[in-house]
Copies of this chain bind each other. A is one copy, B any other.
Amino acid sequence: MAEATQDGRYTVGVDLGGTNIAVAVVDDVYTVMAGQKVPTDPRDGAEAVADRIAEAVGEVVGQAGVRADSIRGVGVGAPGPLDPESGVVSFAPNLNWHNVPLKSMLESRLSVPTFVENDVNVGTLGELRLGAGKGAKQLIGVFVGTGIGGGMVLDGELYRGANFSAGEVGHMIVKTGGPRCGCGNRGCWEAVASRQAIVRRLVRAFRRGARGPLYKMTKGAPSKIRSRALSRAFLDGDPLVIREMKREAKYLGMGVANLINLFSPQMVILGGGVVEAMGDWLIKRVRRSTRRYALAHALEGVDIVASALGDDAGILGCAVLANGRLSQMAES
């Protein structure tokens, strides 16, 4: 942690997830001064979640040793489709939220300008300004965890589209008639290539009697098959996990190829739990699979790289978001 200087100007990043809320104070050169995680407990309702965010912000500002009035803004990465201008979260299934005016709820509690953006867009913004995507004009961030989220940068700026919903890469159908997805369709990219998809295939194999290091570690309980367990079993040479990860690389590469054919980006950044845990091995195989499925002229010179900020992409992206929006406000 860097030492706090009272004349510095700080932002607070809030990464709001279905399970935890990560909050951090970030200085003007994007050093994290203090941070903490608190449980989201969405069942208490949106007002209670906003209270918890406000309380956590107060605590980390105290921990960072900065004056409350040196916080110039708060950036929030929130799940689900939302309107980044009004700061209303239209729909967030894992919070059970419908049309929650998060921006105004937090501004009334914090008395600081607050900016809300889709969590995956925020992660992509972090990578664009501070991580693997520095200086890129066209990039796509793909985050592989429970689902698959995507963020798009075109002409150096986040691209959100007409309904602020651009980048829903997880629900691109890649396998007509394939496995059922949470959205109700079959064969979405996240129904074949998210961690949930991997877990579903592994559990099916366990039911058929397959055994090995992963089974020993987890007793086959889906909730225990987390990204880290997968990478540990992989390193232990678990043949079942190795086979699954080869399949994963194939499907990830196929989806990345689709994105390259459609957008012609300079760069694709891969992040999220599964990618973090599997590291270089997975990235290399995804590159190979992408080469197989993308058009040669679209793929030329395109970098496919791992997220550089890892878990911090969200928090740092929130700080970038807040600073960017504050500058826009100052200009206009």
**CB–CB B171/A261 < 8 A:** yes
Assembly of this chain: how many copies? 2
Residues of A134-176 contacting chain B, CB below 8 A? 137-138, 150, 154-155, 159-169, 171-176
**CB–CB A91/B154 < 8 A:** no
Extra pairs beyond A166-B264, A168-B298 (8, CB < 8 Å): A81-B297, A138-B162, A162-B264, A162-B266, A171-B295, A175-B187, A176-B192, A259-B262
- A262's partner among B166, B187, B264, B298 (CB-CB below 8 A) is B166
Given contacts A297-B81, A297-B90, whether A264 and B165 have CB atoms under 8 Å apart is yes
**CB–CB A301/B176 < 8 A:** no
**CB–CB B163/A298 < 8 A:** yes
What string of 1s and 0s marks CB contacts (under 8 Å) between A278-313 and chain B? 000000000000001101011011100000000000
**CB–CB B168/A159 < 8 A:** no
**CB–CB A162/B301 < 8 A:** yes
Q: With an 8 A cutoff between CB atoms, is A237 at the interface? A: no
Given contacts A90-B297, A91-B297, whether A263 and B161 have CB atoms under 8 Å apart is yes
What string of 1s and 0s marks CB contacts (under 8 Å) between A249-267 and chain B? 0010010011101111110
Residue with the highest number of chain B CB atoms closer than 10 Å, among A160, A261, A302: A261
**Contact residues in B for A167 (Cβ distance below 8 Å):** 262
Q: With an 8 A cutoff between CB atoms, is A222 at the interface? A: no
**Contact residues in B for A168 (Cβ distance below 8 Å):** 261-262, 264, 295, 298
- How far does the alpha carbon of A155 sit from the alpha carbon of B289 in the complex, in Å? 32
Name which residue of chain B comes closest to A251, CB basis.
B176
| Contact surface of A with B, Cβ cutoff 8 Å | 81, 90-91, 137-138, 150, 154-155, 159-169, 171-178, 183, 185, 187, 192, 251, 254, 257-259, 261-266, 292-293, 295, 297-298, 300-302
**CB–CB B265/A262 < 8 A:** no
**CB–CB A258/B166 < 8 A:** no
**CB–CB B176/A257 < 8 A:** no
The smallest C-beta distance from A52 to any residue of chain B, in angstroms, reads 26
Name which residue of chain B comes closest to A178, CB basis.
B176
Name which residue of chain B comes closest to A294, CB basis.
B171
**CB–CB B137/A162 < 8 A:** yes
- How far does the alpha carbon of A264 sit from the alpha carbon of B174 in the complex, in Å? 18
**CB–CB B173/A174 < 8 A:** yes
**Contact residues in B for A91 (Cβ distance below 8 Å):** 297
Given contacts A81-B297, A174-B176, A297-B91, whether A166 and B263 have CB atoms under 8 Å apart is yes
**CB–CB A159/B163 < 8 A:** no
- How far does the alpha carbon of A125 sit from the alpha carbon of B214 in the complex, in Å? 54
- How far does the alpha carbon of A254 sit from the alpha carbon of B185 in the complex, in Å? 10
**CB–CB B261/A295 < 8 A:** no
- A264's partner among B163, B257, B259, B301 (CB-CB below 8 A) is B163
**Contact residues in B for A177 (Cβ distance below 8 Å):** 175
- A172's partner among B90, B138, B187, B261 (CB-CB below 8 A) is B261
